[in-house]
């Protein structure tokens, strides 16, 4: 049965996972309300329950007075909806504008012109676009945009930026060409330099977290995109944290941007690039890592305690990567991933 | 029609006050350019705020009454309660310095909305000081061995842990107002009060103590607002690019210093004074300080050009070891303590080895040696076995055994003809930023040089009411207590390790 929370005065209904606090759901859905400690201590995320029922955990005992409780004041970080829908009103307690509430997303629509299409392999392309209106987008390395399939049917496909944010006015995406794909298949056809595309974004929470921890990055297929943006962004910011980037492909004809990453590795001692091929029997000269990319990761490290993991690519690779990292000491909250699911 | 919340806030901004009873100028000037308008982080008038706080106070005092009735102090692990003899006064020192700090900020900040926030914070800090004094009274009246609680604040003031606390917390009210807020609101309260006031009560509960959580969770309910004060202050200055280098330097300095004191203090108390440990301090630090403070809070400041502290890697390296070294150093000088030390047992060894792989090899041997020197009949104390006493850091005042007691990174240097030591090159960097601030304080050993240890203890007043039994003991056995005579027989003479002629 679906559990939902409705947030007034914005009229936003959000689905909750079982056991998820209302605040967590708001943030997970890319919305925003003011909050502080997230554990019922500070009273910042106050709201009034105006319809339905919720349970409050006992961490609120100091921060909500009896008169608060009598007036159905709750703390969203400690409020849980057990069944059905509950409606919370933040208008009198948070003086939050609608703009701020939605600012978690901070998305806009852009018009872009295709500047170049780079053919990396038989099925991988980079589409480089110059933003026209607005002329620049503030995004974080790891985020994605939605690109409208030309034709005006309001069909959109999601692609991560593969260029770093400091490159102004440009959005690059790495696209895997899928036969019959509504967007990707047209790269060989009517989407070409000079074509105009509509973009919506930036979206997504995939990003390098600030910390001291060494990072293991794993990508497969077009999952290279956001990792490339992150690595270039780290270079630009003078990173010193160790980064080991494993890229998995089937055969050597599926590898791309290898020289670019090897050049970064040569220039920066903190960076190591390890391409891994799963079908080496089909390659003539490959002497590098072989097998599944996650197997190569396991071979290279004794354990992952104190590491952060960044995974991007097909769901099977992500699942295997999460299991590997967490199983050998990485904390689950330090594993970040973006599943790439082909949408045709 | 009723006024909207926004209208009420706008009206509230008009409620400023003059300074006909005090000098309107701050004690220290600021080098920052500060925006005249800010955002009142409390969003409530002081008068209304006080009503809320009064209710919270009532609940704490009610809770302590209940703890007394249920004889909770008898249930708590003595190993744990002993630590509170110095830790609670140290926290109280922080609160007291913060009262002065918030008051100083009220008179320094020409921004009415921030001033409202700091005024409310000042009241909070008074409240916290009173609550912690009451907490110490609770243990004094109810714990079976109150010696040390009776002279808590004074005892702390004379002890190395007191020097550490003073050095750490005086920065709450001394210096540029923006940097005072950086130290108090941003670094201490935002990064470090969660380990201190949320995680530490979990350890208290796991060790049977209900009184400390009753008090500390009430205190923590204020801290998030103090964090908001810091954020508002940062927003007031971060938009001016000329301020950013100053802010960055201030962050580097205070983050390192508060890390040295708070990671030592919370790490030692939560792991070496617990029988039952609900978590590993290293993990708590990773979650609250790195993931929340660096990963989330600092991330929001990145667009202004502020970067995470450059010493973060070194802080992470130190957090693996420093509280183990500090616990050993405190155990080694047990006759100079005003609480009893319970030496680590084989059960503790197993926990530490699992939580910090390699612990036994680094620290186990010393604990084994120390626990063989606990009976006064044997006439041995760990201080006799040390090749030399460790100096205390001239900046943060931890013992110079950091991060590892077997591989300290101590820097010894001369300044204006006098020898000093810092625990690390980072504290030396802080010293060099402003030697005048740090060179005036005498090293803790200096006044005692050449004195018999028994005379030092007597002068410090760390003796029980019978006039002969020490407050400090290397065990929790009430039948085998050390006396001044036991110590005097050892003929141990204190030697200042930094004295040039030795």
What CATH number corresponds to the domain at position B184?
1.10.620.20
Looking at residue B225, its pLDDT comes to 84
Pairwise CA distance, residues A50 & A168, whole Å: 46
Looking at residue A281, its pLDDT comes to 87
Looking at residue B6, its pLDDT comes to 59
Tell me, rounded to whole angstroms, the distance of Cα A231 from its chain centroid. Answer: 15
**Cβ atoms of residues B369 and B328 within 8 Å:** no
Looking at residue B271, its pLDDT comes to 98
pLDDT beyond 60 at B1: no
Residues B258 and B357 reside in one and the same domain: no
Let me know if residue B24 belongs to a domain: no
Residues B306 and B430 reside in one and the same domain: no
Pairwise CA distance, residues B440 & B435, whole Å: 9
Q: Which two tokens stand for residue B387?
A: 């090749």
Q: Reduce the DSSP state of residue A172 to 3 states and report it.
A: strand
Q: Out of A198-212, B69-83, B153-167, B389-403, which region has the weakest mean confidence (pLDDT)?
A: A198-212
Distance of CA B378 to CAs A63, B15, B371, Å?
A: 54, 69, 12
Give the list of residues 6+ apart from residue B296 with CB closer than 8 angstroms, or none: none
Residues B74 and B223 reside in one and the same domain: yes
Looking at residue B5, its pLDDT comes to 56
Looking at residue A17, its pLDDT comes to 92
Residues B378 and B266 reside in one and the same domain: no
Looking at residue B42, its pLDDT comes to 63
Most confident of A43-57, A140-154, B129-143: B129-143
Residues B136 and B164 reside in one and the same domain: yes
Q: At what angle do helices B244-267 and B160-169 cross, to 10 degrees?
A: 150
Work out the pLDDT band at A342, boundaries 50, 70, 90: low
Which residue is closest to A241 within chain B, CA to CA?
B313
Terminal CA-to-CA distance of chain B, rounded, Å?
Answer: 81
Q: Name every chain B residue with its beta carbon within 8 A of the beta carbon of A65.
A: 52, 55
A:237-266 residues touching chain B, CB 8 A cutoff:
240
Dihedral in degrees, nearest 10, Cα atoms B250, B251, B256, B261 = 90
Which residue is closest to B51 within chain A, CA to CA?
A65
pLDDT beyond 60 at A334: yes
Strands (DSSP E) contained in A177-214 are 196-203
Q: Which two tokens stand for residue B338?
A: 């005003």
Give the list of residues 6+ apart from residue A291 with CB closer than 8 angstroms, or none: A276, A278
Residues B160 and B258 reside in one and the same domain: yes
Average of pLDDT values for B14-43?
72
Nearest Cα to Cα of residue B313 among B294, B298, B300, B287:
B294
**Cβ atoms of residues B392 and B402 within 8 Å:** no
Nearest Cα to Cα of residue B203 among B296, B52, B79, B100:
B79
Let me know if residue B32 belongs to a domain: no
Q: pLDDT > 70: what percent of chain A?
A: 95
Q: How many CA atoms does the CB half-sphere of B450 hold within 13 Å?
A: 4
Average of pLDDT values for B65-88?
96
Q: Any idea what DSSP says for residue B483?
A: B
Among B320, B344, B363, identify where a domain stops.
B320
Looking at residue B402, its pLDDT comes to 97
What sign results for the dihedral spanned by CA atoms B124, B160, B322, A215? positive
Let me know if residue B13 belongs to a domain: no
Total number of residues shown for chain B: 502
Residues B307 and B353 reside in one and the same domain: no
Answer whether B223 sits within 8 Å of A65, measured CB to CB.
no
Cα of B145 to nearest chain A Cα, Å: 31
Q: Reduce the DSSP state of residue A144 to 3 states and report it.
A: strand
Looking at residue B500, its pLDDT comes to 64
- For chain A, the average pLDDT equals 89
Among B270, B291, B320, identify where a domain stops.
B320
**Any idea which residue has 């790490």 for tokens?**
B267
Distance of CA A234 to CAs A138, A210, A215, A237, B291, Å?
A: 17, 11, 11, 5, 18
Nearest Cα to Cα of residue B122 among B110, B111, B106:
B106
Pairing outcome for strands A73-75 and A46-51: antiparallel
Q: pLDDT > 90: what percent of chain B?
A: 79
Strands (DSSP E) contained in chain A are 3-8, 12-16, 46-51, 55-56, 73-75, 79-80, 85-89, 108-119, 124-133, 144-148, 156-160, 170-176, 196-203, 215-220, 243-249, 271-277, 289-290, 308-313, 335-339
Cα of A262 to nearest chain B Cα, Å: 26
Among B320, B348, B368, identify where a domain stops.
B320
Domain tally, chain B: 2
Looking at residue A178, its pLDDT comes to 85
Work out the pLDDT band at A74, boundaries 50, 70, 90: very high
Looking at residue B41, its pLDDT comes to 62
Q: At what angle do helices B112-142 and B78-108 cross, to 10 degrees?
A: 160
Let me know if residue B16 belongs to a domain: no
- Whether this model's ipTM surpasses 0.95 comes out as no
Average of pLDDT values for B88-99?
97
Strands (DSSP E) contained in B351-484 are 403-404, 407-408, 411-415, 418-422
Give the list of residues 6+ apart from residue B271 with CB closer than 8 angstroms, or none: B277, B280, B281, B323, B327, B352, B355
pLDDT beyond 90 at A133: no
**Any idea which residue has 């964090």 for tokens?**
B227
**CATH 2.40.30.10 for domain A108-203:** yes
> What is the dotted CATH code of the domain comprising A215-339?
3.40.50.80
Residues B333 and B312 reside in one and the same domain: no
Nearest Cα to Cα of residue B3 among A95, A220, A108:
A95
Cα of A257 to nearest chain B Cα, Å: 29
Residues B166 and B237 reside in one and the same domain: yes
Pairwise CA distance, residues B7 & B12, whole Å: 8
Q: Any idea what DSSP says for residue A276?
A: E
Residues B337 and B298 reside in one and the same domain: no
Answer whether B59 sits within 8 Å of A39, measured CB to CB.
no
pLDDT beyond 80 at A97: no
pLDDT beyond 60 at B127: yes
Pairwise CA distance, residues A119 & B107, whole Å: 65
3-state secondary structure B236-262: HHHCCHHHHHHHHHHHHHHHHHHHHHH
How many Cβ atoms are within 10 Å of B86's Cβ, its own excluded?
26
Q: Reduce the DSSP state of residue B330 to 3 states and report it.
A: helix
In order, the DSSP letters of B57-119 are: HHHHHHHHHHHHHTTHHHHS-HHHHHHHHHHHHHHHHHHHHHHHHHHHHHHH---HHHHHHHH
pLDDT, tens digit, for every residue of A225-238? 999 999 999 999 99
- For chain B, the average pLDDT equals 92
Pairing outcome for strands A335-339 and A55-56: unpaired
pTM: 0.84
Looking at residue B192, its pLDDT comes to 94
Residues B340 and B213 reside in one and the same domain: no
Average of pLDDT values for B169-174?
94
Average of pLDDT values for B387-413?
96
Residues B291 and B388 reside in one and the same domain: no
Total number of residues shown for chain A: 344
pLDDT, tens digit, for every residue of B327-349? 999 999 999 999 999 999 999 99
Q: Closest to B221 (Cβ–Cβ): which among A42, A240, A334?
A: A42
What sign results for the dihedral spanned by CA atoms B34, B37, B38, B44? positive
Answer whether B312 sits within 8 Å of A209, measured CB to CB.
no
Tell me, rounded to whole angstroms, the distance of Cα B223 from its chain centroid. Answer: 15
**Cβ atoms of residues B389 and B494 within 8 Å:** yes
Looking at residue A282, its pLDDT comes to 87
pLDDT, tens digit, for every residue of B302-317? 888 999 999 999 999 9
Q: Out of A197-211, A320-334, B426-440, which region has the weakest mean confidence (pLDDT)?
A: A197-211
Q: Closest to A212 (Cβ–Cβ): which among B221, B224, B316?
A: B316
Nearest Cα to Cα of residue A249 among A222, A217, A284, A285:
A222
pLDDT beyond 90 at A8: no
**Any idea which residue has 């209304």 for tokens?**
B48
pLDDT beyond 70 at B24: no
A201 touches chain B (CB under 8 A): no
Answer whether A41 sits within 8 Å of B198, measured CB to CB.
yes
**Any idea which residue has 């790891």 for tokens?**
A142
A200 touches chain B (CB under 8 A): no
Cα of B247 to nearest chain A Cα, Å: 18
The dihedrals phi and psi of B256, each to the nearest 5 degrees, come to: -65, -45
Which residue is closest to A305 within chain B, CA to CA?
B283
Looking at residue B251, its pLDDT comes to 97
Instruction: Name which residue leads in pLDDT, B329 or A282.
Output: B329
A:81-110 residues touching chain B, CB 8 A cutoff:
92-93, 95
Work out the pLDDT band at A107, boundaries 50, 70, 90: low
Pairwise CA distance, residues B12 & A199, whole Å: 44
Distance of CA A160 to CAs A126, A140, B37, Å?
A: 11, 10, 39
Q: Any idea what DSSP says for residue A10?
A: T
The residue ranges of every structural domain in chain A are 3-102, 108-203, 215-339
Looking at residue A152, its pLDDT comes to 72
Let me know if residue B236 belongs to a domain: yes
A39 touches chain B (CB under 8 A): yes
Give the list of residues 6+ apart from residue B454 with CB closer than 8 angstroms, or none: B484, B485, B487, B488
Catalytic residues of B: 95, 125, 128, 189, 223, 226
List helix spans (H) across B177-291.
177-181, 193, 200-206, 211-238, 244-267, 281-285
- Domain containing B410 equals 328-502
Q: Reduce the DSSP state of residue B187 to 3 states and report it.
A: helix
pLDDT beyond 80 at A73: yes
> What is the dotted CATH code of the domain comprising A3-102?
3.10.20.30
pLDDT beyond 70 at B9: no
């Amino acid at each position: 049965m679906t559990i939902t929370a409705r947030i007034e005065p914005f009229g936003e209904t959000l689905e909750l996972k079982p056991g998820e606090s209302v605040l967590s759901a708001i943030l997970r859905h890319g919305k925003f309300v003011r909050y502080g400690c997230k554990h019922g201590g500070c009273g910042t995320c106050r709201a009034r329950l105006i319809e339905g029922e919720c349970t409050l955990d006992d961490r609120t005992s100091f921060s909500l007075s009896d008169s608060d409780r009598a007036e159905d004041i709750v703390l969203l970080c400690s409020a849980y909806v057990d069944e059905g829908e509950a409606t919370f009103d933040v208008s009198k307690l948070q003086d939050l504008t609608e703009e701020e509430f939605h600012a978690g997303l901070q998305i806009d629509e852009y018009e872009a012109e295709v500047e170049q299409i780079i053919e990396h392999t038989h099925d991988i392309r980079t589409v480089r676009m110059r933003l026209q209106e607005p002329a620049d987008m503030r995004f974080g390395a790891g985020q994605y945009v939605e690109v409208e399939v030309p034709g005006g049917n309001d069909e959109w496909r999601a692609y991560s930026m593969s260029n770093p944010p400091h490159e102004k006015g440009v959005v690059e995406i790495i696209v895997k060409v899928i036969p019959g794909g509504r967007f990707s298949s047209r790269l060989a056809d009517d989407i070409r330099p000079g074509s105009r595309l509509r973009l919506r974004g930036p979206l997504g929470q995939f990003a390098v977290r600030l910390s001291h921890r060494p990072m293991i990055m794993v990508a497969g297929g077009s999952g290279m995109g956001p990792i490339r943006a992150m690595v270039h962004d780290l270079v630009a910011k003078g990173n010193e944290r160790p980064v080991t980037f494993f890229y998995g492909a089937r055969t050597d004809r599926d590898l791309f941007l290898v020289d670019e990453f090897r050049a970064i590795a040569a220039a920066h001692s903190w960076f190591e690039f390890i391409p891994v091929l799963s079908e080496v029997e089909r390659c003539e000269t490959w002497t590098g890592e072989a097998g599944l990319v996650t197997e190569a990761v396991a071979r290279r490290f004794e354990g992952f305690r104190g590491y952060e993991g960044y995974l991007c690519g097909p769901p099977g690779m992500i699942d295997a990567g999460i299991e590997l990292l967490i199983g050998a000491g990485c904390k689950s909250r330090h594993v970040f991933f973006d599943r790439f699911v082909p949408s045709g | 029609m009723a006024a909207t919340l926004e209208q009420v806030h706008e009206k509230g901004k008009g409620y400023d006050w003059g300074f006909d009873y005090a000098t309107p100028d701050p004690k220290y000037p600021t080098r920052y350019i500060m925006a005249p308008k800010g955002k009142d982080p409390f969003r409530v008038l002081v008068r209304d705020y006080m009503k809320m706080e009064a209710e919270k106070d009532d609940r704490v005092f009610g809770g302590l009454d209940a703890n007394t009735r249920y004889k909770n102090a008898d249930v708590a692990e003595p190993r744990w309660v002993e630590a509170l003899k110095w830790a609670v006064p140290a926290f109280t020192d922080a609160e007291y310095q913060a009262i002065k700090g918030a008051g100083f900020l009220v008179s320094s900040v020409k921004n009415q909305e921030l001033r409202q926030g700091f005024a409310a914070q000042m009241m909070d800090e008074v409240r916290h000081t009173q609550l912690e004094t009451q907490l110490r009274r609770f243990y004094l009246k109810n714990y079976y061995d109150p010696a040390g609680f009776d002279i808590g604040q004074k005892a702390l003031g004379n002890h190395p842990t007191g020097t550490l606390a003073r050095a750490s917390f005086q920065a709450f009210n001394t210096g540029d107002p923006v940097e005072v807020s950086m130290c108090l609101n941003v670094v201490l309260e935002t990064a470090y009060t969660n380990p201190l006031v949320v995680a530490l009560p979990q350890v208290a509960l796991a060790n049977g103590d209900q009184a400390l959580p009753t008090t500390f969770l009430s205190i923590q309910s204020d801290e998030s607002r103090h964090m908001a004060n810091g954020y508002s202050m940062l927003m007031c200055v971060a938009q001016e690019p000329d301020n950013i280098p100053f802010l960055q330097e201030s962050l580097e300095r205070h983050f390192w210093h508060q890390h040295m004191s708070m990671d030592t203090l919370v790490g030692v108390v939560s792991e070496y004074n617990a029988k039952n440990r609900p978590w590993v301090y290293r993990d708590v630090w990773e979650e609250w300080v790195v993931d929340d403070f660096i990963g989330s809070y600092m991330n929001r400041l990145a667009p202004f050009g502020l970067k995470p502290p450059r010493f973060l890697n070194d802080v992470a390296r130190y957090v693996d070891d420093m509280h183990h070294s500090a616990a050993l150093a405190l155990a080694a000088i047990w006759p100079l303590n005003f609480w009893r030390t319970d030496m680590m047992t084989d059960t503790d060894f197993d926990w530490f080895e699992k939580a910090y792989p390699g612990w036994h090899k680094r620290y186990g041997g010393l604990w084994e040696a120390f626990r063989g020197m606990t009976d006064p009949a044997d006439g041995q104390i760990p201080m006799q076995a040390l090749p030399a006493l460790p100096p205390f850091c001239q900046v943060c005042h931890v013992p110079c055994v950091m991060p590892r007691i077997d591989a300290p990174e101590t820097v010894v240097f001369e300044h204006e003809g006098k020898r000093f030591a810092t625990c690390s090159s980072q504290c030396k960097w802080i010293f060099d930023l402003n030697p005048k601030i740090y060179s005036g304080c005498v090293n803790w050993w200096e006044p005692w040089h050449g004195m018999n240890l028994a005379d030092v203890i007597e002068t410090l007043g760390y003796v029980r009411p019978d006039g002969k039994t020490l407050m400090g003991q290397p065990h929790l056995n009430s039948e085998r207590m050390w006396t001044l005579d036991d110590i005097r027989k050892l003929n141990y003479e204190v030697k200042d390790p930094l004295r040039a002629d030795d």
